[in-house]
A and B are shown apart, each in its own frame.
Chain A
Amino acid sequence: MVPLSYYLMLSGFLFACGVVGFLIKRNIITIFMSIELMLNGVNLSFVAFAAHWHALAGQVFVFFVMVVAAAEAAVGLAIILAVYRTRETLNVDQVNLLKL
């Protein structure tokens, strides 16, 4: 039996990777993938706790997160496509019109 802390450390590592990628990457697709990474890092801790406490709620939660993530991916990719069509770039530093 793998102890809970291992799962949590992996989950934390995945989440940290996501955050770092989110912060340092300039390509929107990569940033998007980093978000997915963070979501899945959280999912991992959910299922780990669910298995540890023998509570089904954690696993149900993961399904919800996956559904929302799928929906988000659909919307997000559509936005990315739209951005690429108008700006002809995927570099977020050049997509900076939303400011005062």
Chain B
Amino acid sequence: MTSSLNLWLIPVLPLAGAAINGFLGKKSSRTAVSVVGLFFSGAAFAWALSVAGRVSSDTLPYQEYLAHWIRFGGVGLPGSFSADFALYLDQLSLVMLLVVTGVGFLIHIYSVGYMWDDPSYYRFFSYLNLFMFFMLTLVLANNYLVMFIGWEGVGLASYLLIGFWFTKDSAASAGKKAFIVNRIGDFGFLIGLFLIIQHFGSLDFTKVFAQVQPIAPETAGAGLLTAIGILLMVGACGKSAQIPLYVWLPDAMEGPTPVSALIHAATMVTAGVYMVSRSHLIFECAPQALMVVAVIGTLTALFAATIGIAQTDIKKVLAYSTVSQLGYMFMACGVGAFSAGIFHLMTHAFFKGLLFLAAGSVIHAVGGEQDMRKMGGLRTYIPWTFMTMGIATLAIAGIPPFAGFWSKDEILWKAFSSDHGSWVFWLIGVITAFITSFYMFRLLFMTFFGDYHGAQVDEHGHGSHTHGHDDHGHGEPHESPMVMLVPLMILAVLSVVGGLVGIGNRFEHFLEPVFGSGAATEAAGEAAGRGTELLLMVVSVTVAVLGFLLAYLLYVSKPYLPQKIADALGSFYEAVLNKYYIDELYAKLFVKPLIDGSTSILWQGVDRKVIDDSVNNAADGARHVSDEVRHMQSGNLRSYAGWIAAGSAVVIAYMIWMGVR
């Protein structure tokens, strides 16, 4: 091991920023707050870069021990358990580290422009830095427990930032929804961790995985690993918004747009993918759990994509798109192609972060409006936003040579060719790719082409948005300031070239020390399937282009058609528009019984009937008894004498009886 890398600096720097802005920000100027916020997140990025420069494949994995935490039982004895604050760096966490700090820093810069007019400017940067701290803790953890701290911490930061405009009712309840739905997932995650502790006596990644490896998939231990795997997946479902716990993510769009970009697109929601990839040894020994991951991912990808078609809120489209893309990542993990999943995670962070930031720029331009039907024709007003968003759209649609093409194609190829994969996954993946391409170009066309529909809503359309930009009057849509455009451009460049690292499986080879032997089986498949792979690639590009053409047909050349189709589809369109009524279904199935049960059983039944009544009855009883006993205190001296005499008679009788006995 070489000299210390001082990894601890990376998470601690944003924490310091959060503390400074949180405690002192209220009295500081906006400039000071921006400087602090940007400096600490930028410093974390710089340190991450320097760490990346200093490590090589020989020095990884690198571990850094910071402090004792929980220890009981002698070291090595049965029943003993220990968990320390310690950091772990390997190729996987290095990729995550750079994505989180890099994209995070860019979004910090963007936020300076986007949030400048907000009265709680300092609070925003404090939360944002706090999020960075927790996310980096999650990524750098050396055991599941430290990871869990980060895991919960990003949930907290997410809650705070979704509810950032907490005076708005919908934002406050969206924050709560996100937190509660995540809690369901965390419950599964925790039980998974308990199982790991019980059977492996440790939470350290290295120790757990060392014990997992000898368990072959056929042995009795496999049931245990399947259970752990599925429970971890439940946790990942919550954090990464997969079926059935995806419902919080679309609502999370109530938060400021930079938050949607950073937390709900680029980084936090990918924590589940990271966690599953980190636990890949467990999953590889539990084929059933892997199957669950793949099925959930595939279904989510398709399901969320179909909802995305009918949404009219620009951020909601992107939210469902995020859910769908996360489904892709899980599909990749589920077929054992973890490096493909991480590859897509990285490119997705670039292009989806860009999409959200560009959407934020659009919203900024039209004065807080998020409804795409009230936009249109914006490309002449905000050309830079249009260009960068166009690049991101090409990237997510999977048009070569943009980033999304390489990673998506990798996933589709793995879904088809891997041992755990099948043509079903591939087919659904391709259908999803088509839908993705369609709704993304739909978004682009509705927003930037045609005529601007925004002017007439300007007068009244603003009141409902507690937005930083309401107060400067909007006649014409206007381009965002440079501080917002530069991050867009950088991310656009990354969205173009980010996929090139995947050419010739270079990215996969980079992650090979982590994910191991995947390449061996791959090599065999590679030789046999070169032609097939090319064919599949052509198919996926074709569907992407088809999606583009369909969107062009419907929204540019014949804009009256979508309404006709919607009318023709009738109730089905209604269902899609209302997100398949999933929220209503959950409300009926879970929320309402829970509220009713809490009201009638817990509140009226247990709390009022049992707890309140037992206390009240005890008090009532004491009063009644005292009421009766009070009459002994008559004030009549002779009755007192009588009591004394009777009492002594009883005592004497007792003593005599004892004596006789």
Q: Which of B633, B634, B637, B641 contacts A95 (CB 8 A)?
A: B637
B635–A96 contact, CB under 8 A? yes
A23–B635 contact, CB under 8 A? no
Q: A87 at the A/B interface (Cβ < 8 Å)?
A: no
Q: A2 at the A/B interface (Cβ < 8 Å)?
A: no
> Which residues in window 6-41 of A have CB below 8 A to B?
19, 22-24, 26, 31
> Which residues in window 57-100 of A have CB below 8 A to B?
92-93, 95-100
Q: B642 at the A/B interface (Cβ < 8 Å)?
A: yes
Quick one: closest B residue to A95, CB to CB? Answer: B637
B633–A92 contact, CB under 8 A? no
Chain B contacts for A99, CB-based, 8 A: 633-636
A92–B637 contact, CB under 8 A? yes
A19–B645 contact, CB under 8 A? yes
CA distance A97 to B635 in the complex (A): 6
Chain B contacts for A22, CB-based, 8 A: 641, 645
B633–A100 contact, CB under 8 A? yes
A98–B641 contact, CB under 8 A? no
A93–B638 contact, CB under 8 A? yes
Q: Which of B633, B638, B642 contacts A26 (CB 8 A)?
A: B638
Quick one: closest B residue to A92, CB to CB? Answer: B637
Q: B460 at the A/B interface (Cβ < 8 Å)?
A: no
Q: Which of A23, A26, A98 contacts B645 (CB 8 A)?
A: A23
Quick one: closest A residue to B649, CB to CB? Answer: A19
Quick one: closest B residue to A22, CB to CB? Answer: B641
- Please indicate which of the listed interface residues A22, A26, A95 has the most CB atoms of chain B within 10 Å of its own CB: A22
0/1 string, B620-649, CB within 8 A of A gives 1:
000000000010011111100110010000
CA distance A31 to B630 in the complex (A): 25
CB distance from A32 to the nearest CB of B (A): 12
Q: A19-B645, A23-B645, A100-B630 are in contact. Are A92 and B638 (CB under 8 A)?
A: yes
Quick one: closest A residue to B634, CB to CB? Answer: A99
Chain A contacts for B642, CB-based, 8 A: 23
Chain B contacts for A95, CB-based, 8 A: 637
Chain A contacts for B630, CB-based, 8 A: 100
Chain B contacts for A23, CB-based, 8 A: 638, 641-642, 645
CA distance A53 to B630 in the complex (A): 47
B636–A93 contact, CB under 8 A? yes
Quick one: closest B residue to A93, CB to CB? Answer: B636
CB distance from A83 to the nearest CB of B (A): 11
CA distance A93 to B630 in the complex (A): 18
Chain B contacts for A100, CB-based, 8 A: 630, 633
Chain A contacts for B633, CB-based, 8 A: 99-100
B635–A98 contact, CB under 8 A? yes
CA distance A99 to B634 in the complex (A): 6
CA distance A23 to B122 in the complex (A): 85
Quick one: closest B residue to A99, CB to CB? Answer: B635
A96–B634 contact, CB under 8 A? yes
B641–A96 contact, CB under 8 A? no
Quick one: closest B residue to A26, CB to CB? Answer: B638
Quick one: closest A residue to B637, CB to CB? Answer: A92
Chain B contacts for A19, CB-based, 8 A: 645
Quick one: closest B residue to A34, CB to CB? Answer: B641
CA distance A99 to B635 in the complex (A): 4
Quick one: closest B residue to A24, CB to CB? Answer: B638
CA distance A19 to B634 in the complex (A): 20
CB distance from B321 to the nearest CB of A (A): 78
A96–B645 contact, CB under 8 A? no
Chain B contacts for A93, CB-based, 8 A: 636-638
Quick one: closest A residue to B631, CB to CB? Answer: A100
- Please indicate which of the listed interface residues A23, A26, A31 has the most CB atoms of chain B within 10 Å of its own CB: A23
CA distance A22 to B630 in the complex (A): 23
CB distance from B174 to the nearest CB of A (A): 61
CA distance A98 to B633 in the complex (A): 8
CA distance A47 to B575 in the complex (A): 107
CA distance A100 to B629 in the complex (A): 11
CA distance A95 to B637 in the complex (A): 8
Chain A contacts for B645, CB-based, 8 A: 19, 22-23
Quick one: closest B residue to A96, CB to CB? Answer: B635
CB distance from B161 to the nearest CB of A (A): 64
Chain B contacts for A31, CB-based, 8 A: 637, 641
Chain A contacts for B636, CB-based, 8 A: 92-93, 96, 99
CA distance A19 to B645 in the complex (A): 8
CA distance A99 to B638 in the complex (A): 13
Chain A contacts for B635, CB-based, 8 A: 96-99
CB distance from B348 to the nearest CB of A (A): 80
- Please indicate which of the listed interface residues A26, A96, A97 has the most CB atoms of chain B within 10 Å of its own CB: A96
CA distance A45 to B564 in the complex (A): 119
CA distance A97 to B634 in the complex (A): 9
CB distance from B260 to the nearest CB of A (A): 71
CA distance A32 to B478 in the complex (A): 108
CA distance A96 to B633 in the complex (A): 10
0/1 string, B524-549, CB within 8 A of A gives 1:
00000000000000000000000000
CB distance from A96 to the nearest CB of B (A): 4
Quick one: closest A residue to B644, CB to CB? Answer: A22
CB distance from A9 to the nearest CB of B (A): 16
CA distance A22 to B648 in the complex (A): 14
CB distance from A43 to the nearest CB of B (A): 18
0/1 string, B108-128, CB within 8 A of A gives 1:
000000000000000000000
Chain A contacts for B638, CB-based, 8 A: 23-24, 26, 92-93
CB distance from B638 to the nearest CB of A (A): 6
CB distance from B15 to the nearest CB of A (A): 65
CB distance from B340 to the nearest CB of A (A): 86
- Please indicate which of the listed interface residues B633, B634, B635 has the most CB atoms of chain A within 10 Å of its own CB: B635
CB distance from B111 to the nearest CB of A (A): 72
Chain A contacts for B637, CB-based, 8 A: 31, 92-93, 95-96
CB distance from B635 to the nearest CB of A (A): 3
CA distance A10 to B638 in the complex (A): 25
Quick one: closest A residue to B642, CB to CB? Answer: A23
- Please indicate which of the listed interface residues A31, A97, A100 has the most CB atoms of chain B within 10 Å of its own CB: A100
Chain B contacts for A96, CB-based, 8 A: 634-637
CB distance from B128 to the nearest CB of A (A): 68
Chain A contacts for B634, CB-based, 8 A: 96, 99
**21 sample A-B contacts, Cβ–Cβ < 8 Å, listed by A number:** A19-B645, A22-B641, A22-B645, A23-B638, A24-B638, A26-B638, A31-B641, A92-B636, A92-B638, A93-B636, A93-B637, A93-B638, A96-B634, A96-B636, A96-B637, A97-B635, A99-B633, A99-B634, A99-B635, A99-B636, A100-B633
| A-B CB proximity, top 3 nearest | A99-B635, A96-B635, A92-B637
Known pairs A95-B637, A99-B633; list 7 more (Cβ under 8 Å). A22-B641, A26-B638, A31-B637, A92-B638, A93-B638, A97-B635, A100-B630
A residues at B contact (CB < 8 Å): 19, 22-24, 26, 31, 92-93, 95-100
B residues at A contact (CB < 8 Å): 630, 633-638, 641-642, 645
